[in-house]
């Protein structure tokens, strides 16, 4: 039974939850340390008018968002009882959840660039989005056919203005910039390995959302899965941090039925992971695996890479385009596995996109006997969705972004990858579940010993093991037993992205 | 090739009965709880040496309160899933691991002092504290430890053989013949046992008929009378008999459900007005096992709600779930959950507390998601709603575990540490075990496969 769409308090929600800012190609993230809480709160008050809410017209030109880690909230002076009302994964922080998340070996927190136990504590995150200042058509999609460089240049000007303005406000505000993370928009919305990224996005089942278009029923997810204060896919209100009435004498926060004031309402938990991608290693690996009798086989190479990812470079899903890439199908998201591909013969069970969103097949098998079935699987999958807001960073290995170009370019050793950002209302049930039970689980979907071939942890115990990837084929499966790690963690943290009223409360500095 | 250092396996054997489930609850000396916990953690028990053990654990059930608020002392729990009879396993344990047993039982009350410890007294002490299980679920139904391990080895051998060749363009039937040749000819007698297909799964209908013959007899009798009234000149009044046969249990069940509903309403009210329970958080759990291990044990303790109604309801639901486990959940799935290898519910402390022990694939993070799903929530709610602190329910089966945050909080509150846990096949998920058996089935020369069957079989490699 489908519930009615909910009405969101758009003016109290930070706009990042509702928009991916596809029209703002320039983004800049500041990882902050609060050196002086009193001045930081003052700085936050100055910043408040610039924070973009869900209504703001401003979002067509630029957007500013702010989020805090648990220690950041502690530093801002929240009282102990309020702090205790945050959920445990958030209180512990990403670095201490590393075993659960599979951040071991080369990805261990001790080796992160920021956010690890040896680094200065991360307290806050400032997200800045901007577009090129001269384009006046707000609704126009960004011109992808333009050469990348000039577009980036244009966007850069807008961003620099914004960074300047924000930094100006933060001047003498007791905030120390630990890392200034830049991002990059790659051609055709690709990520560094050369695949079209960010296609499957859940859509909030809510009224009055900007950009109305037809959305597949399976992609409509209850807002409570991403925003605190609304019903989730279980039909319940998510767990939310609260403040006692005494500690909110001005009544800045909305009241709950039990008399406490709701600090979480219209907020969300923001997961930030800086993931380094070893592009050359990836393509060299698939090239070597696909080679026949020592001779390279580009078609087999691209096919194997697509099998590992689950989509072709254009974004065409393997279920719809099993044999060759079909750019006309790029970006298609209205498909399932249950009827077309229950065993993973088109899109392997172990493939990255199938693991991170199994859609209507939780356990592969003959459709008649499969439990959970199509409907149950879809319902279960909806309880583990993530709103992704990630962006690439670093220069592409080769501007053409084709496998051949990558292989020709050689290994330049440069730092590039993805700033993976995602939003969810329950860290354990959503982000951590996907990371643990789908990505890193070697037994996923009836497999024997295969973690995600792209982002999985193959060696959680540090025994020097390599990964295994298994792609069903005729007559028998193809198994690769020496998959190296292509993606490593460089830093990360769990943030709380408060609603606007909650931000005002935090900036007020009440006990 | 499989590693040369692989441990020797027990000879292959088919299952003849449901595996044994041993539960022993021992009283711990009041001062010894801490020391015993530390000892158990530091000294794994040699379960591998004794009989054919699938899973086993030593865990301390912490002190607590029963539903009426009376204190319950801490106890030591020994739970084993093994092949064969329970008495036989205990006798073997006393023979093989007397020292290890003594070291643990020395922390317990009533255990004889060192000079008086004889094999007979050890055995008698353990038997005196053994408890019958209320519900026992087996995931890999009708499979011995030896079968599971042998089939895993067979699967690994086939994997390696298939990896070693380029099969592109080979006919499916040809592939199967090549594998059969490799397994049965080239590997000598190593896999000779696999020539015969595995025993077929239990016939669920027959199982039901054997267990509920009285239902069938009653239904048959009622039907006979109805037919007699319809087709012979039996008086209409005879229809009262089937009406009573069918109606009495129905009326009784409805009345009982109504009584439970009234009870629920009062308890739900208490739950709402209790300042602590509704806001207890899901994350106030003690330390949990390493989330990286592929399988995890759960030891969960809950106090049974006071009063005859709750005790009777619990017993009835346990009886029902046990019947389901024997007759329905025999295909590797219990209430839609496909990750549990073994599970059991046992009433301990003289029926005042209910424990749940399970060995499952994955970690608590996926476990909670699975148990709170709609498929599993009904039976679990009916069962656990008879224990303290469970989220509010309606009509025994509704709500309850579907309130996922509160259910998680309730589960966390009842979790006990499993100090010493043993698993004979940590690298095999239940899905893997089933797949291995199916792979072996299709490998057997006695089994004919059609084209579809062949393709399906090849997918299992």
Q: Provide DSSP, B398-444.
A: EEGGGSHHHHHHHHHHHEE---EEEES-TT--HHHHHHHHHHHHHHS
* B367 vs A455, residue with greater confidence: A455
Alpha carbons A496 and B305: distance in angstroms, whole number: 39
Give the residue from B93, B94, B99, B89 showing the smallest Cα distance to B145.
B89
* Alpha-helix residue ranges (DSSP H) falling in A310-457: 352-356, 374-382, 403-409, 433
Give residue A456's pLDDT: 93
Give residue B161's pLDDT: 95
DSSP-derived secondary structure letter, A217 = G
Alpha carbons B440 and A332: distance in angstroms, whole number: 40
Q: Is B14 in contact with B147 (CB distance < 8 Å)?
A: yes
Give residue A172's pLDDT: 75
Burial degree of B245 (CB within 10 A; 0-12, 13-18, 19+): middle
Question: Residue A97: closest CA among chain B residues belongs to which residue?
Answer: B291
Mutation target for B interface from A292, A380, A476: give the one with most B CBs within 10 A: A476
Give the residue from A72, A42, A73, A125 showing the smallest Cα distance to A507.
A42
Alpha carbons B274 and A319: distance in angstroms, whole number: 52
A253 contacts: CB under 8 Å, gap ≥ 6: A243, A261, A262, A263, A265, A501, A502, A505
The verdict on a CB contact (< 8 Å) between B373 and A380 is: yes
> Angle A182-A187-A188 (CA atoms, 0-180°, nearest 5)?
125
Give residue A145's pLDDT: 36
The tens digit of pLDDT for each residue in B203-222 reads 888 989 999 999 999 999 99
Alpha carbons A434 and A469: distance in angstroms, whole number: 19
SS3 call for A9: coil
Question: Residue A438: closest CA among chain B residues belongs to which residue?
Answer: B366
The tens digit of pLDDT for each residue in B271-327 reads 776 545 555 565 666 677 888 889 999 999 999 999 999 999 999 999 999 999 988
User: For residue A208, is pLDDT > 70?
Assistant: no
The verdict on a CB contact (< 8 Å) between A481 and B163 is: yes
Give the residue from B115, B111, B133, B122 showing the smallest Cα distance to B22.
B133
Give residue B315's pLDDT: 96
Name the stretches of chain B with pLDDT < 70: 1-7, 273-286
Burial per residue of B279-308, b for 16 or more beta-carbon CB atoms within 10 angstroms, e otherwise? eebbbebeebeebebbbbbbbbbbbbbeee
Strand partners, A37: none
The verdict on a CB contact (< 8 Å) between B175 and A475 is: yes
The tens digit of pLDDT for each residue in B52-65 reads 999 999 999 999 99
The tens digit of pLDDT for each residue in A309-334 reads 999 999 999 999 999 999 999 888 88
Which helix (H) or strand (E) covers residue A96, if one does?
A: none
Give residue A209's pLDDT: 66
Dihedral in degrees, nearest 10, Cα atoms B408, B410, B411, B415? 140
Q: Where are any strands of DSSP class E within B185-232? A: none
CA end-to-end span of chain A: 44
Q: Give B-chain residues touching A384 at CB under 8 angstroms.
A: 369
Give residue A139's pLDDT: 36
Say yes or no: A384 contacts chain B, CB-CB below 8 A.
yes
* A81 vs A169, residue with greater confidence: A81
Give residue A133's pLDDT: 43
Give residue A121's pLDDT: 95
Min distance B429 CA to chain A CA atoms (Å): 7
Alpha carbons A307 and A469: distance in angstroms, whole number: 10
Q: Mark which residues 410-429 of B lie under 8 Å from A by CB.
A: 427, 429
Q: Is B159 in contact with B40 (CB distance < 8 Å)?
A: no
Q: Which band of pLDDT confidence, cut at 50, 70 and 90, is reported for residue A76? A: very high
The mean of the pLDDT values for chain A is 87
Burial degree of B449 (CB within 10 A; 0-12, 13-18, 19+): middle
Give residue A132's pLDDT: 59
Alpha carbons B112 and B106: distance in angstroms, whole number: 8
The tens digit of pLDDT for each residue in A213-253 reads 667 788 889 999 999 999 999 888 898 999 999 999 999 99
CB atoms under 10 Å from CB of A232, counted, come to 25
CA end-to-end span of chain B: 16
Q: Give B-chain residues touching A443 at CB under 8 angstroms.
A: 294, 361-362, 429, 431-432
Q: How many helices (H) and strands (E) does chain A have?
A: 13, 15
What average pLDDT does the segment A118-125 reach? 95
DSSP string, A260-314: -EESSTT-EEEEEEEEEE-HHHHHHHHHHHH-BTTB--HHHHHHHHHHHHSB-TT
Q: Give A-chain residues touching B427 at CB under 8 angstroms.
A: 449
Give residue B7's pLDDT: 58
Q: Give A-chain residues touching B163 at CB under 8 angstroms.
A: 479, 481
Min distance A292 CA to chain B CA atoms (Å): 10
**Polymer length of chain B:** 461
Say yes or no: B162 contacts chain A, CB-CB below 8 A.
yes
Which helix (H) or strand (E) covers residue A1, if one does?
A: none
Give the residue from B304, B296, B302, B308 showing the smallest Cα distance to B358.
B296
The verdict on a CB contact (< 8 Å) between A236 and B403 is: yes
The tens digit of pLDDT for each residue in A373-418 reads 888 889 889 999 999 999 999 999 999 999 999 999 999 999 999 9
Please give the C-alpha separations between residue B380 and each of A55, B267, B334, B461, in angstroms, as whole numbers: 44, 18, 10, 35
The verdict on a CB contact (< 8 Å) between B402 and A234 is: yes
* A61 vs B432, residue with greater confidence: B432
Q: Which band of pLDDT confidence, cut at 50, 70 and 90, is reported for residue A1? A: very low
Give residue A152's pLDDT: 45
Q: Give the torsion sign (CA, B430, B433, B437, B442).
A: positive
Interface contacts (A, B; CB < 8 Å):
103
Mutation target for B interface from A434, A443, A457: give the one with most B CBs within 10 A: A443
Dihedral in degrees, nearest 10, Cα atoms A133, A135, A138, A144? -110
Give Cα B233 distance to the centre of its chain. 53
The verdict on a CB contact (< 8 Å) between B431 and A99 is: no
ipTM: 0.90
Please give the C-alpha separations between residue A148 and each of A133, A155, A218, in angstroms, as whole numbers: 17, 11, 34
Greatest pairwise CA separation for chain B in angstroms? 80
Say yes or no: B375 contacts chain A, CB-CB below 8 A.
yes
């Amino acid at each position: 039974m489908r519930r009615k769409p909910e009405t969101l308090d758009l003016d109290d929600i930070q706009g990042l939850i509702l928009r991916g800012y596809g029209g703002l190609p320039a983004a800049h993230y500041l990882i902050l340390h609060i050196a002086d809480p009193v001045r930081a709160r003052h700085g936050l008050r100055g910043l408040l008018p610039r924070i973009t809410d869900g209504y703001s017209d401003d979002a067509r030109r630029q957007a500013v968002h702010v989020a805090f880690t648990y220690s950041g909230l502690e530093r801002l002076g929240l009282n102990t009882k309020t702090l205790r009302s945050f959920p445990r994964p958030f209180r512990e922080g990403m670095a201490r959840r590393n075993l659960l998340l599979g951040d071991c070996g080369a990805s261990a927190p001790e080796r992160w660039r920021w956010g690890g136990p040896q680094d200065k504590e991360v307290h806050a995150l400032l997200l800045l989005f901007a577009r090129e200042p001269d384009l006046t058509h707000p609704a126009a999609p960004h011109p992808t056919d333009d050469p990348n460089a000039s577009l980036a240049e244009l966007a850069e000007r807008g961003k620099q203005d914004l960074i300047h303005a924000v930094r100006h406000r933060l001047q003498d505000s007791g905030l120390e910039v630990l890392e200034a993370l830049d991002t990059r928009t790659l051609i055709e919305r690709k990520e560094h390995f050369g695949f079209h990224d960010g296609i499957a996005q859940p859509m909030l089942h809510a009224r009055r959302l900007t950009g109305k278009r037809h959305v597949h029923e399976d992609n409509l997810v209850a807002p409570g899965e991403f925003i605190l204060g609304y019903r989730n896919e279980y039909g319940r209100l998510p767990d939310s941090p609260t403040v006692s009435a005494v500690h909110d004498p001005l009544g800045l926060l909305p009241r709950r039925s039990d008399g406490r004031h709701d600090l979480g309402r219209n907020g969300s938990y923001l997961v930030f992971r800086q993931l380094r991608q070893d592009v050359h290693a990836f393509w060299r690996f698939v090239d070597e695996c696909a080679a026949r009798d020592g001779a390279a086989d580009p078609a087999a190479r691209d096919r194997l890479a697509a099998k590992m990812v689950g989509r072709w470079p254009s974004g065409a899903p393997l279920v719809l385009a099993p044999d060759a890439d079909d750019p006309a199908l790029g970006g298609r998201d209205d498909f399932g596995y249950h009827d077309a591909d229950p065993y993973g013969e088109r899109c392997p069970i172990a493939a990255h996109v199938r693991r991170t969103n199994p859609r209507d097949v939780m356990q592969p098998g003959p459709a008649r006997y499969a439990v959970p079935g199509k409907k149950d699987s879809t319902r279960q999958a909806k309880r583990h969705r993530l709103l992704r807001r990630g962006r690439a960073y670093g220069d592409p290995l080769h501007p053409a972004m084709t496998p051949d170009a990558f292989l020709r370019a050689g290994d330049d050793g440069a730092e590039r990858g993805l700033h993976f950002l995602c939003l969810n209302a329950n860290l354990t049930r959503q982000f951590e579940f996907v990371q643990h039970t789908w990505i890193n689980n070697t037994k996923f979907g009836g497999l024997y010993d295969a973690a995600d071939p792209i982002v999985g942890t193959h060696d959680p115990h540090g025994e020097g093991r390599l990964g295994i990837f298994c792609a069903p084929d005729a007559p028998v499966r193809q198994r690769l037993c020496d998959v190296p790690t292509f993606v490593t963690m460089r830093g990360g943290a769990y943030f709380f992205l408060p609603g606007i009223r909650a931000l005002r409360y935090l900036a007020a500095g009440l006990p | 090739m499989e590693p040369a250092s692989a441990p020797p396996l027990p000879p292959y054997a088919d299952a003849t009965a449901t595996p044994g489930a041993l539960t022993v609850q021992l009283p711990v000396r009041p001062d010894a709880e801490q020391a015993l916990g530390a000892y158990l953690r530091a000294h794994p028990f040699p379960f591998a040496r004794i009989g054919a053990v699938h899973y086993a654990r030593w865990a301390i059930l912490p002190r607590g309160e029963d539903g009426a608020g009376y204190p319950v002392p801490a106890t030591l729990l020994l739970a084993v899933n093994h092949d064969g009879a329970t008495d036989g396993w205990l006798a073997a344990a006393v023979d093989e691991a007397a020292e290890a047993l003594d070291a643990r039982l020395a922390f317990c009350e009533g255990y004889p002092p060192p000079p008086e410890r004889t094999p007979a007294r050890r055995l008698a002490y353990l038997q005196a504290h053994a408890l019958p299980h209320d519900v026992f679920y087996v995931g890999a139904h009708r499979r011995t430890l030896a079968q599971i391990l042998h089939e895993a080895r067979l699967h690994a051998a086939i994997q390696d053989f298939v990896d070693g060749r380029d099969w592109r363009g080979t006919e499916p039937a040809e592939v199967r013949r090549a594998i059969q040749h490799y397994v049965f000819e080239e590997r000598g007698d190593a896999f000779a046992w696999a020539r015969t297909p595995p025993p077929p799964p239990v016939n669920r209908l027959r199982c039901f008929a054997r267990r509920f013959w009285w239902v069938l007899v009653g239904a048959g009798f009622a039907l006979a009378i109805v037919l007699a009234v319809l087709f012979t000149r039996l008086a209409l009044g005879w229809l009262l008999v089937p009406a009573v046969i069918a109606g009495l249990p129905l009326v009784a069940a409805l009345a009982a459900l109504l009584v439970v509903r009234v009870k629920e309403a009062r308890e739900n009210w208490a739950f709402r007005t209790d300042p602590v329970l509704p806001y207890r958080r899901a994350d106030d759990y003690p330390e949990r096992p390493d989330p990286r291990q592929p399988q995890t044990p759960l030891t969960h303790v809950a106090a049974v709600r006071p009063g005859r109604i709750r005790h009777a309801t619990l017993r009835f639901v346990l009886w029902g779930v046990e019947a389901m486990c024997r007759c329905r959940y025999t295909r590797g799935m219990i209430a839609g959950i496909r990750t549990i290898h073994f599970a059991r519910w046992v009433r301990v402390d003289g029926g005042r507390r209910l424990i749940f022990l399970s060995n499952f694939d994955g970690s608590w993070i996926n476990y909670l998601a699975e148990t709170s799903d709609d498929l599993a929530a009904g039976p679990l709610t009916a069962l656990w709603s008879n224990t303290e602190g469970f989220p509010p329910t309606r009509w025994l089966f509704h709500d309850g575990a579907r309130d996922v945050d509160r259910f998680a909080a309730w589960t966390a509150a009842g979790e006990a540490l499993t100090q010493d846990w043993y698993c004979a096949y940590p690298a095999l998920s239940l899905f893997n075990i089933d797949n291995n058996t199916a792979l072996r089935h299709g490998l057997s020369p006695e089994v004919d496969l059609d084209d579809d069957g062949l393709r399906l079989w090849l997918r299992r490699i």
